[in-house]
């Protein structure tokens, strides 16, 4: 992950609040990604001093931006360094692989639904009919029920088969707790190969049927 920061004016009104909001947004945007290394470039004396004083990064290079007098600094951070230095950014490296592997269309629907909008609003935002929205919800629920049945353990049986508010709420909460479900997948799971013994047994049974 590469991060480019602009200069921070610590003389501005309430700079701590602004900095806090920037950090919170930074953490939220990158939730769910499997991060190997953070490369952070900052500009300006104030931002450079903050990065150096924080001792959160391994300082790699100081340089001036070409054609300007603006100083810049590049620092990096790995999971191992964050753990060794007790760096609060260690949370950035936490990752749990996705289990559900939603399609791109399903991811898009869920991402919009996390804001708490209705199916009518989803239809407008996604540019699809309401019937298509409901069809996607049905596929999403079927997938979740098949892959993580324990999620619906306390849901009444009739609601498990429909698009009830309770089941939808549980799905959205699961995705909030597992943000990797909405990040790009390197590959989708394939059906596991059948054991050779089972294939051989079926082949023998087929030959017997043909013979008799």
pLDDT grade for 206, boundaries at 50, 70 and 90: very low
What is the residue-averaged pLDDT of the chain? 83
Q: Per-residue pLDDT tens for 92-121?
A: 999 999 999 999 999 999 999 999 999 999
Position of tokens 């060794």?
Answer: 84
Average pLDDT over residues 165-175: 93
How far is it, in rounded angstroms, from Cα 85 to Cα 17?
A: 25
Q: Per-residue pLDDT tens for 181-193?
A: 999 887 666 444 4
How far is it, in rounded angstroms, from Cα 99 to Cα 180?
A: 9
How far is it, in rounded angstroms, from Cα 134 to Cα 143?
A: 14
Other C-beta atoms lying within 10 Å of the C-beta of residue 22: 13
From residue 47, give the alpha-carbon distance in Å to each of 53, 55, 78, 93, 112. Answer: 10, 13, 20, 23, 35
Q: How many helices (H) and strands (E) does the chain have?
A: 9, 4
**What are the DSSP E strand ranges found in the chain?**
2-4, 37-43, 58-64, 71-78
Write down the pTM of the prediction. 0.73
- Give the helix/strand (H/E) hosting 130: helix 130-147
Per-residue pLDDT at 71 exceeds 60 = yes
């Amino acid at each position: 992950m590469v991060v480019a920061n602009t200069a921070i004016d610590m003389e501005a009104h309430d700079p701590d609040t602004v900095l806090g909001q920037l950090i919170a947004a930074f953490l939220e945007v990158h939730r769910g990604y499997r991060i190997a290394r953070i490369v952070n470039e900052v500009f300006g004396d104030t931002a450079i001093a903050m990065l150096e004083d924080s001792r959160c990064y391994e300082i790699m290079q100081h340089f001036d931006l070409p054609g300007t007098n603006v100083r810049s600094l590049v620092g990096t951070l790995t999971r191992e360094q964050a753990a060794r230095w007790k760096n609060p950014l260690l949370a950035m490296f936490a990752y749990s692989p996705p289990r559900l592997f939603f399609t791109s269309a399903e991811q898009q629907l869920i991402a919009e639904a996390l804001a708490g909008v209705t199916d009518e609003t989803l239809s407008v935002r996604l540019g699809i009919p309401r019937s298509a929205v409901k069809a996607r919800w049905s596929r999403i629920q079927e997938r979740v029920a098949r892959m993580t049945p324990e999620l619906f353990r306390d849901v009444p049986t009739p609601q498990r088969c429909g698009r009830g508010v309770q089941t939808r709420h549980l799905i959205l909460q699961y995705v909030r707790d597992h943000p990797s479900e909405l990040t790009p997948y390197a590959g989708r799971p394939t059906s596991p190969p059948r054991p050779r013994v089972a294939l051989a047994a079926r082949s023998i049974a087929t030959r017997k049927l043909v013979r008799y």
